[in-house]
Amino acid sequence: MSRKLISLLLVVVLVLATLAGCAQQPAEQKTPDDSSQGGDTTKIKVGMVTDAGTIDDKSFNQGTWEGIQKAAKEFNLESKYLKPSGTTEADYLNEIDNLYENGFRFIVTPGFKFSSAVYKAQETYKDCKFVIIDSEPADADGNSKTAENTASVYFAEEQSGFMAGFAAAVELKEGEFGFIGGMKIPSVQKFNWGFQQGINYANENYGTKVSLKADNVIYQGSFDNAAAGQQLAAQMYEKGVKCIFIAAGGTGVGAINEAKTRRAGGADIWCIGVDVDQYDEGIYDDKNNSVVLTSAIKKVDVVSYEMAKAFVNNSFVGGKVYTYDAKSKSVGLPEKNPNLSQETMDKANEVFEKLVAGEIKVSAEQGDLID
**CATH 1.10.3720.10 corresponds to the domain 157-297+341-357:** no
Give the span between the Cα atoms of 277 and 118, in whole angstroms. 29
**165 vs 11, residue with greater confidence:** 165
241-247 vs 174-181, strand pairing mode: parallel
pLDDT range class, residue 54, cuts 50, 70, 90? confident
- Residue 131, amino acid: V
pLDDT range class, residue 57, cuts 50, 70, 90? confident
Give the span between the Cα atoms of 338 and 293, in whole angstroms. 8
pLDDT at 267: 98
Q: Considering the chain, what is the average pLDDT of its residues?
A: 90
Write out pLDDT tens, residues 34-47: 222 223 447 999 99
Range 123-127 average pLDDT: 98
CA atoms within 13 A on the CB side of 277: 11
Q: Is the pLDDT of residue 248 over 70?
A: yes
| CATH number of the structural domain 41-155 | 3.40.50.2300
Which of these, 362, 305, 60, 41, lies nearest to 182 by C-alpha position?
60
pLDDT at 10: 47
pLDDT at 90: 97
- What residue spans define the domains of the chain? 41-155, 157-297+341-357
Q: How far is CA 166 from CA 202, 210, 212, 236, in A?
A: 5, 10, 13, 20
157-297+341-357 shares the fold of 41-155: yes
pTM: 0.84
pLDDT at 31: 27
Give the span between the Cα atoms of 332 and 23, in whole angstroms. 71
Please state, as a whole number, how many other Cβ atoms lie within 10 Å of the Cβ of residue 142: 8
pLDDT at 38: 29
Q: In what order do the strands lie in the sheet with 209-219?
A: 209-219, 174-181, 241-247, 270-275, 292-298, 331-332
Write out pLDDT tens, residues 65-100: 999 999 999 999 999 999 999 999 999 999 999 999
Concatenated DSSP letters of 132-188: EESS--B-TT--B---TTEEEEEE-HHHHHHHHHHHHHHHH-EEEEEEEESS--HHH
